[in-house]
Structure 1
Amino acid sequence: MPVRLPSVRHCAVLLSAVWALSACTLFPVADDAPVARKLAALPSADALLLGEQHDAPAHHAIERETVEALAARGRLAALALEMAEEGNDTTHLPANATEAQVQTALRWNDKAWPWADYGPAVMAAVRAGVPVIGANLPRARMKDAMADVSLDAQLNEAAREAQREAVRSGHCGLLPETQIGPMTRIQIARDRAMAQAVLKARQPGKTVLLVAGAGHVLRPLGVPQHLPSDFKVTSVRLLAAATADDEGARGYDATWRTPPLPAKDYCAGVKAPARP
């Protein structure tokens, strides 16, 4: 399974830690506005990064609608996914490919990422003749990433510390401190891999859509940090909450709110491993 920090907890820590690192503008838009209207309110970009809460059904619906809206306007260059590993794509499949064929092409891990959640957006892209590409760091490369000290220099000190704190909290405070650095490198390597996938899919006059967890699309320390300065990026947080906190919004260009979900403690029942 991919390294996957608890989404709500992970993002809450990231948001509180990096608010001072970003001066991005929040583009106001009505929460109940159609997705096509929300897209029209955003600046044109080479890439649109949608940061989801993994367990929010409304976010998956927005992702499908975003694919459909961009494709209908002939603007969708590719759909890139955190949920599939780099090196897997649908470019060789026809628009009428079956869902089984698409899952095979992407080497989909249904246990980690339920196809029922992501399949509609993926299939909307395939039906539109738009390639779907895996963007996440392959699991086989994670061990090397953990030992790659050069990854430490990919973020400035403040952003790196924010990522370290997110890893610490995202694992419910149970990781040995000696593992915080290596696990942080995996997160940085994942963001860099997603950025590289987005760059490879770039097409003039079109937009690459990346779907990933909200923490990955934070401007101060996520995927945008690994893209060149002349690459136009718009980062949108999908937020299942009654209100949008101004502090957290600073790490994104826009926040699209959806109905709140019941509070959930992702660390409830998690126990520290027994000591020998």
Structure 2
Amino acid sequence: MALSRFSPARAPRLPFLLVATLVAAALAGCSALSSDAPDAPVARRVAALLPVDALLLGEQHDAPEHHVIERETVEALVARGQLAALALEMAEEGRGTAHVAPTATEAQVRAALDWSDKAWPWASYGPAVMAAVRAGVPVVGANLPRARMKDAMADVSLDAQLGNDAYVAQQDAVREGHCKLLPESQIIPMTRIQVGRDRAMAQAIVKARQPGKTVLLIAGSGHVVRTLGVPQHLPNDVRIATVRMLAAPTLANVVPGEYDRIWQTPALPPQDYCADLRRPAKASPQ
């Protein structure tokens, strides 16, 4: 029975230490709940996840708010002296800023990362990247190089990197991700590319790992799913936290267990992402 239902004269007297314990527990519960609230400061949300060896931050690529959160996450880890490296899906494995000075220009940083502005608008990702560079923290490319993707499509060893259920689920994710328009003959080769990319990102995390610090990976949300993505390719001794940033009005489509945290952001206007894929390809000029 709640204490508020008793009159002051009849309310039972609880020992002071018990009351203090109950109050502390209630406050702790409120703190845990509020750390992931949409209006909670990013630094508080990050602190609630530490200590981890790697923080995997899954974005929706066209959500502006997600890029703001990414920069603030970099800044929060830098402020704590705990950012080991910033790893990016948006740059290829083998590219990085280890030999770039903290005072480098954005053009120099983009050259070091071989940045593709057409694929990944620098205006969206540059602030997070430069926050790391200015702090003297290495930024590393984590994605499977495009030159190796053809080989990955034919690499049957990639079929065994996930358990059977997870591999089937990854194939389904590839179908959905391509709007169910891919020929069935392309599902396995494209799934191998996805697995290869996840494995490359995991390897980048392992290489950048430092004791007592955190590697931050920024990637599409599909890559940081615990049951399918990068976490499946990390050694068991790597402590991780996975976050999905979700630009949606509700959490109705969130599957429990896929991520450790969901950071909800304002919904984007409705958009048909499959429209371009449905359009017939234009004939090349003769």
Q: Does the alignment reach a TM-score above 0.5?
A: yes
Q: What is the total number of aligned residue pairs between the two structures? A: 248
Q: Is the 8 A contact 1:241 1:259 kept in 2?
A: yes
Structure 1 contact 78–207 (Cα < 8 Å) conserved: yes
1:248 shift after superposition = 2.3
The offset of 1:271, in angstroms, is 2.6
For structure 1, the 5+ residue unaligned runs are 1-26
Structure 2: gaps of 5 or more residues: 1-31, 282-286
Tell me the percent identity.
Answer: 71
Tell me which stretches of 4 or more aligned residues in structure 1 moved more than 3 Å: none
**1:272 to partner: Cα distance:** 6.7
SS of the residue corresponding to residue 41 of structure 1 reads helix
Determine if the alignment matches structure 1 residue 79 to structure 2 residue 86: yes
The structural deviation recorded for 1:242 is: 2.1
* Aligned-pair CA distance for 1:263: 1.4
Q: Which amino acid aligns with 2:169?
A: A
Q: CA RMSD in A?
A: 1.3
Query: 1:161 pairs with 159, 163, 168, which one?
Result: 168
Partner of 2:138: 131
Using the alignment, how far apart are the partners of 1:114 and 1:269 within structure 2?
19
2:94 is equivalent to residue 112 of structure 1 = no
Q: Which residue of 2 aligns with 1:176?
A: 183
Q: What's the CA shift for 1:40?
A: 1.6
Decide which structure has the larger Cα Rg and report it.
2
In the alignment, which of 187, 192, 196 is matched to residue 189 of structure 1?
Answer: 196
Q: Write out per-residue CA displacement over residues 63-110 of structure 1, whole angstroms, 9 at most, x where no aligned residue.
A: 000000100110000000000000000000110000000000000000
Q: Deviations over 1:233-271 (max 9, x none)?
A: 100000111222374242000011111111111112433
Residues 1:273 and 1:157: Cα distance change in structure 2 (over 3 Å): farther
Instruction: Considering Cα pairs closer than 8 Å and 6+ residues apart, tell me whether 1 or 2 has the greater RCO.
Output: 1
Bigger mean CA deviation after superposition, 197-206 or 35-44: 35-44
Cα gap change, 1:272/1:177 in structure 2, threshold over 3 Å: closer, same or farther? farther
Q: TM-score, normalised by structure 2?
A: 0.84
Amino acid at match of 2:42: V
Inter-CA distance 271–223: structure 2 relative to 1 (3 Å threshold): same
User: What is the CA–CA distance in structure 2 between the aligned matches of 1:198 and 1:249, rounded to whole Å?
Assistant: 25
- TM-score normalised over the length of structure 1: 0.87
Q: Deviations over 1:195-247 (max 9, x none)?
A: 00000000000000000000000000100000011110100000111222374
Moved more, 237-246 or 209-218: 237-246
Instruction: State whether structure 2 residue 153 is matched by structure 1 residue 151.
Output: no
**More displaced stretch, 175-184 vs 237-246:** 237-246
Corresponding residue number in structure 1 for 2:238: 231
